[in-house]
Structure 1
Amino acid sequence: MTEYEAFAIELARAAARVTLPFFRSDLGYEDKGGAAGFDPVTEADKQAEAAIRRLIAERYPDHGVIGEEYGEDRPEAEQVWVLDPIDGTRAFISGLPLWTTLIALRQAGQPTVGVIAQPYLDEIFLGGPTGARLIRGDTETPLAVRACPRLNQAVISTTDPDIFDVAERAAWTKLRAAARLARLGCDAYAYAMVAAGRMDMVAETSLKPWDWSALAPVIAAAGGQVVNWGGGAPDDRGQILAVGDAGLIDQALPLLRPAAL
Structure 2
Amino acid sequence: MNSNKTHEIYPKFLNQLAVDLNLFYKKIINSNINVKNKNKSGKFNPVTSFDKAFEKFIRNKINKRFPGHSIVGEEFKTKNKKSDYSWIIDPIDGTKSFVVGNPTWSNLISLNYKGNPQFGLANFPELNKYYFNQSANTAYVVKNGKKRKLRANKKSTFNQMKLAGEFHGWLSLDQQLKILKVLDLMQFPSSDALSYVNFCEGKIDSVIQCVNKIWDIHALIPIIKASGGIASTWSNKDPKEAGTILVSSNKIIHNKMLGYLKPLSEFIPGGINN
Q: TM-score, normalised by structure 1?
A: 0.90
CA distance in 1: counterparts of 2:233 and 2:123, whole angstroms: 23
Deviations 1:80-133 (A, max 9, x none): 111101100111111111111111110121101011111111111112416111
Q: Tell me by how many angstroms 1:174 deviates.
A: 2.4
1:224 corresponds to which residue? 229
CA deviation after TM superposition for structure 1 residue 13, in Å = 2.8
Cα distance in 1, alignment partners of residues 42 and 199 from structure 2:
27
1:63 shift after superposition: 0.6
The alignment status of 1:192 with 2:197, answered yes or no, reads yes
User: 1:214: how far off?
Assistant: 0.8
* 1:207 corresponding residue in structure 2: 212
Q: Tell whether the 8 Å contact from 1:168 to 1:256 is kept in structure 2 after alignment.
A: no
1:95 to 1:58, Cα distance in 2 relative to 1, 3 A: same
For these two proteins, the number of residue pairs brought into alignment is 259
Give CA deviations for 1:54-88 in whole Å, capped at 9, x if unaligned: 11111111111111111311234111111101100
Q: Is the 8 A contact 1:126 1:218 kept in 2?
A: yes
Judge which range, 47-56 or 153-162, deviates more.
153-162
Aligned letter for 1:216? Answer: I
Question: Aligned match of 2:114 in 98, 101, 108?
Answer: 108
- Encode CA deviations 1:114-165: one digit per residue, 9 max, x unaligned: 1111111111111241611111243211111113543331212223451325
Quickly say closer, same or farther: Cα 1:73–1:93, change in 2 above 3 A. same
Task: Give yes or no for the alignment of 1:153 onto 2:160.
Answer: yes
SS in 2 for 1:84: strand
The answer for the alignment partner of 2:271 in structure 1 is: none
Contact 1:208/1:238, CA 8 A, preserved across alignment: yes
**Residue 133 of structure 1 aligns to which amino acid in structure 2?**
Y
Deviation of 1:167 after TM superposition, in Å, equals: 6.3
Map of 2:169 onto structure 1: 162
- Structure 1: gaps of 5 or more residues: none
Name the counterpart of 1:90: 96
Looking at structure 2, the residues matched to 180 and 147 of structure 1 have their Cα atoms a distance apart, in angstroms, of 19
* 1:41 matched residue in structure 2: 47
Structure 2 residue identity aligned to 1:212: I
Aligned to 1:176: 183
Any idea what SS the aligned residue of 1:230 has?
Answer: coil
Pair 1:59-2:76 in alignment: no
- Measured in 2, the distance between the counterparts of 1:107 and 1:230 equals 24
Q: Flag the 1:35–1:210 CA change in 2: closer, same or farther, 3 A.
A: farther
Residue 33 of structure 2 is matched in structure 1 by 27
User: Paired residue for 1:136?
Assistant: 143
1:168 to 1:155, Cα distance in 2 relative to 1, 3 A? farther
- The CA distance in 2 between the partners of 1:91 and 1:22, in whole Å, is 18
Between stretches 159-168 and 62-71, larger displacement belongs to 159-168
Coordinate RMSD, CA, aligned: 2.2
TM-score by structure 2 length? 0.86
